[in-house]
A and B are shown apart, each in its own frame.
Chain A
Amino acid sequence: MRVAARLGSIDALIGLLFIALALVFLVPALTYGFGTMQRIGPGFFPGVVAILLAIVGIGNLVIALRQPGTPPQAIRWRALLPVIAIPAFGLTIAPLGLVAASLITVMIARRAERGPIRIEEPILAIGLALTCYAIFVVGLALPIRLLPAF
């Protein structure tokens, strides 16, 4: 009936998320050993907290299924491009240095906005790279290269 539609509401999704995450922690916690009340084992506390989280999740789910709710706002996939830019930075910083990593990160992140590549992007990237160089390398003496090693 309407149950399927209600499963897409915010409360139902929260319930499902909590239950899933509770299981991710509960299953390994069961193997760590509960110990006794005198000597609490490493599995006891996380086990109890995970069970509480599952109960909270089930509570949310039950509430959600009893009444109509609103679905969450859709995520625009384009808005995820800044997240893609982060591993790109990680992969380029060590071999290529700060300027190149900054160029790549900023250019990928900027694609989250519609429209053509603009000249301000590389200017912004290089400006940011130099500012970060001043803070992290000159100021904090961290071993980060500005330019590629070769």
Chain B
Amino acid sequence: MEALFGNLAFGFQVVLSAENFLYCVLGVSVGMAIGVLPGIGPLATISLLLPITFSLDPIASLIMLAGIYYGAMYGGSTASILVNLPGSAPSAVTCLDGYPLARQGRAGPALLMTTIASFVGGTISIIILAAFAPLLAEVAMEFGSPEYFALMSFALVMSAAVSGGSFIRSFGMVLLGVLVGLIGMDVNSGIQRFSFGMLQLADGVNLVIIAMGVFGVAEVCGRLSARLSGLEANEKVQHVTLRSMAPSRDDLSRSKWPILRGTGIGSILGVLPGAGSTLAAFLSYATERRISKEPERFGKGAMEGVAAPEAANNAAAQTAFIPTLTLGVPGDAIMALMLGALLIHGISPGPEVMTTNHDLFWGLVASMWVGNLVLLILNIPLVAIWVSLLRIPYRLLYPAVILLVCLGVYSVKFSLLDVFMVAILGLFGLVFVRLKLEAAPLLLGFILGPLTELHFRRSMILSRGSLDIFYERPVSAVFTTLTLVIIVLLVGRLIFTRSRAVA
């Protein structure tokens, strides 16, 4: 316990240095400002801003990225409540009751409750993060390649299982991501793999290009196409004043326990590889509806239907950093981006991070709480500004996104080929959107692919070519079994339900 507070105090020292604090506030506010823009989710926001953080030092860069992340998540819920345009899967849950509340003229209290719920969820889960990450890191010290291979396979399969779309489609995207991740030089043999004669592909496809192409460009084209087909009407945005945000006593008493339950659910699910904030938001919403005495209120503007998932997804967003930093195994696409950013800075996450990069780890943890506090302070008085950002017409917005993509990609290496590649990946991304394929599992596969291969090869060297090694060690046996069980269950269910439908 003493060590915990000592570490946290050290972390606050790091984050409250003038420079890091500036990047924390900057990250949170820019993330919020871009995340609130309709149709730009946290993934797109982080992708767009990733190149900007490259030139900072690793600590500042990670603090800023984390700030961008929860700023964008918060901005996303604002957009969900006010215009029913979820930018990400967790905020789709917020829409369920948030938008009906806004239609009833209660957008103000709903926004305030999401702020409070996020803050409470964030605060509690940060303490959990600070307490459990060192324990997990200690356990992980014993992990060898078989454990890592089993954990990574589990994360990959789980990310497909919880991605919202059909399992088999998302699993295909994971596999495709792994293959794309393997492009470039093989470290063991020095062979160029899948570079198709292009020298520029020798060090693999750049993370920024994938993220921007698949999330930025594809999203713009997909929405434009929907607008051209007249599928999307312009939504009127309500005015929200500071005064209208005051929640009623009823709102508060209804939300108190759902926020705490949501925090609990979120904190646990965030740690699981592959689960992440989407599942947390869905599950906490379902829990509240199930245990509610008036389940019929849900979907029609129940305040607890906004508060619980918001607390859950914010808690999960913080605890998701535990496996990402201590094991180097990200749970979802956003954590994969964070991991990618760390790798670009030459830091390979793992149990050693806590000792070798003591300041980075605890600085980041403390920055999350500072960031949440900044959000709380920024959000409530500045609500009118965020709402007015929502009124920016799309015809001004999307050229700005495209320009930011171009310049962001160009700024990484000043390479013309990179700019061409982001356009090509944008076309692929558009095909994915049209075929209802989730791109997030692809990104996780892309980051984890090379690591999974590395640990598989090492395991085989260790065991002299016997696959039994994955069953001989307890941790890897558990995760290998879980992975296989999930695959068998989901594929089995698919075959069973389909054949019944045909008969």
Does B322 sit within 8 A of A, measured CB to CB?
A: no
What is the size, in residues, of chain A's interface with B at 8 Å between Cβ atoms?
A: 73
Q: In the bound complex, do residue A83 and residue B434 qualify as a contact, i.e. CB atoms below 8 Å apart?
A: no
A-B residue pair count with CB separations less than 8 angstroms: 204
Does B431 sit within 8 A of A, measured CB to CB?
A: yes
Q: In the bound complex, do residue A86 and residue B422 qualify as a contact, i.e. CB atoms below 8 Å apart?
A: yes
Dominant SS at the A interface? helix
Q: In the bound complex, do residue A140 and residue B419 qualify as a contact, i.e. CB atoms below 8 Å apart?
A: no
A37-B465, A60-B169 given as contacts; is B498 within 8 A of A86 (CB)?
no
For chain B, residues 237 to 276, give those with C-beta under 8 angstroms from any C-beta of chain A: none
How many Å lie between the Cα of A142 and that of B196 in the bound state?
31
Q: How many interface residues does chain B have, given as a range?
A: 35 or more
Q: In the bound complex, do residue B457 and residue A52 qualify as a contact, i.e. CB atoms below 8 Å apart?
A: no
Question: Digit string of B478-503 for contact with A (CB within 8 Å is 1, else 0)?
Answer: 00000000000000001000100110
Q: In the bound complex, do residue B502 and residue A38 qualify as a contact, i.e. CB atoms below 8 Å apart?
A: no
Taking CB as reference atom, which chain A residue is nearest B430? A75
How many Å lie between the Cα of A73 and that of B224 in the bound state?
13
A25-B179, A40-B456 given as contacts; is B402 within 8 A of A109 (CB)?
yes
Does B9 sit within 8 A of A, measured CB to CB?
A: no
Q: In the bound complex, do residue A128 and residue B403 qualify as a contact, i.e. CB atoms below 8 Å apart?
A: yes
A40-B460, A72-B434, A89-B410 given as contacts; is B427 within 8 A of A83 (CB)?
yes
A83-B217, A106-B399, A140-B411 given as contacts; is B175 within 8 A of A56 (CB)?
yes
Q: In the bound complex, do residue B466 and residue A85 qualify as a contact, i.e. CB atoms below 8 Å apart?
A: no
How many Å lie between the Cα of A114 and that of B224 in the bound state?
11
Contact of A82 among B193, B226, B402, B416 (CB under 8 A): B402
Does B398 sit within 8 A of A, measured CB to CB?
A: yes
Q: In the bound complex, do residue A109 and residue B179 qualify as a contact, i.e. CB atoms below 8 Å apart?
A: no
A/B interface sample: 15 pairs, CB < 8 A? A14-B172, A18-B172, A29-B193, A36-B465, A37-B466, A49-B182, A50-B179, A53-B172, A63-B498, A73-B226, A86-B406, A87-B419, A91-B416, A101-B406, A128-B400
A39-B461, A106-B403, A109-B402 given as contacts; is B436 within 8 A of A10 (CB)?
yes
> Apart from A42-B189, A50-B175, A86-B426, what 4 extra A-B contacts exist at CB < 8 Å?
A42-B193, A49-B178, A90-B419, A113-B227
**A141 to chain B: which residues have CB within 8 Å?**
55
Q: In the bound complex, do residue A42 and residue B188 qualify as a contact, i.e. CB atoms below 8 Å apart?
A: yes
The distance from the CB of B326 to the nearest CB of chain A, in whole angstroms, is: 25
The distance from the CB of A7 to the nearest CB of chain B, in whole angstroms, is: 14
**A114 to chain B: which residues have CB within 8 Å?**
228
The distance from the CB of A99 to the nearest CB of chain B, in whole angstroms, is: 12
Q: In the bound complex, do residue A128 and residue B175 qualify as a contact, i.e. CB atoms below 8 Å apart?
A: no
How many Å lie between the Cα of A37 and that of B498 in the bound state?
37
